[in-house]
Amino acid sequence: MTSHGMTRPSLQRFAWLSIAAAVTTMGLKAVAYLLTGSVGLLSDALESAVNLIGALMALAMLTIAARPADDNHAYGHSKAEYFSSGVEGTLILLAAASIGTAAIRRLINPQPLEQIGLGLAVSVAAALVNLAVALVLLRAGKRWNSISLEANAHHLLTDVWTSAGVLVGVGLVAVTGIERFDPIAALVVAANIVWSGTRIVRNSILGLMDTALSAEEQDTLRRVLEQYRQTGVQYHDLRTRQSGARRFVSIHVVVPGGWTVEDSHLLLDRIESDICNALPNATVLTHLEPLDDPTARDTLLSNT
């Protein structure tokens, strides 16, 4: 079995950055709500509170995921990140329900907004903070293959678009004087949050269910293996799965019966190394079989 890839640094500092952003934006949006009385801005503040809880959860799970493998967790602790993204996605859905309830009440009983200009300025400042932090987290998440950071980043980006929608709603109230534009914008915000939360929860469930690598990564894997067919080597029972930042590949390699044990194991070393170079952070498990083995031959025939 071969396992190697880029050394993953501590990612907790990015979670701390997300926590700082959540506290800052939650305070700014709360001030904006108090100034204007806008339920749309209140919805924005509630989502920032969810951001804070999600960031705290991400910090805890990233700390666990960074632990090395031990006797009870031979494959490491990387799956802990899926719990973080799953909890965050669930919290997003709960926030959407709260926002929708408040918006419907305000839609039925509209209320005038106050100090709209100042409230909008504060909300814009909060959105810019979220945008800057989200871009940093997204870049780090993609580079180090962290579902926790990516989920947090997409949540913050959703928050940015949410803020934009709320700003439009409040702006329409200011221009038209129609107060129901504010709760309508909040309902659109809630719908957007539901979509984002559902996607995050789905990805978390797929990770916990040991979903196979993406079609693109499996194509890369097969291109590596096809290079060895020219030497009479064949393979079957190719299995893959993703676990947090790590990829796992299992494969049965079938070699001509006349090969020596030494030659066969040198071949496996090369195959494992080539796969790890093509798929960073991969753990590869190979099983050697001679072509003369009836079971191996029958399996190959059934796969053709």
Nearest C-alpha neighbor of 62 from the set 122, 149, 173? 149
**Which residue segments constitute the domains of the chain, with CATH numbers given?**
2-208 (1.20.1510.10), 215-303 (3.30.70.1350)
- 72 exposed, middle or buried (CB, 10 Å; 0-12, 13-18, 19+)? exposed
How high is the mean pLDDT of the chain?
80
Per-residue burial over 230-250, b if 16 or more Cβ lie within 10 Å, else e, is: eeebbbbeeebbbbbbbbbbe
Q: In the numeric block, which tokens belong to residue 176?
A: 């038209």
Band of residue 20 on the pLDDT scale cut at 50, 70, 90: very high
On whether the CB atoms of residues 174 and 136 are closer than 8 A, the answer is no
Is the CA virtual torsion 101, 105, 110, 111 positive or negative? negative
Residue 1 scores a pLDDT above 60: no
Q: At what angle are helices 147-176 and 80-108 packed, to 10 degrees?
A: 10
Q: What is the pLDDT of residues 125-151, one digit of tens each?
A: 888 898 999 999 989 888 887 888 888
Nearest C-alpha neighbor of 95 from the set 21, 8, 191? 191
Give the pLDDT score at 5: 45
Q: What is the pLDDT of residues 231-278, one digit of tens each?
A: 778 888 899 988 766 788 999 998 887 888 888 889 999 999 999 888
Q: What is the pLDDT of residues 290-303, one digit of tens each?
A: 877 666 555 655 55
How much is the pTM? 0.65
Q: Give the Cβ contact number of residue 22 at 10 Å.
A: 27
* Percentage above 70 pLDDT, the chain: 87
Nearest C-alpha neighbor of 48 from the set 126, 153, 133? 126
On whether the CB atoms of residues 81 and 62 are closer than 8 A, the answer is yes
Q: What is the pLDDT of residues 42-87, one digit of tens each?
A: 766 776 777 788 888 888 888 888 787 777 877 777 788 888 888 8
Residue 5's region, left for phi above 0, alpha for psi from -120 to 50, else beta, is: left
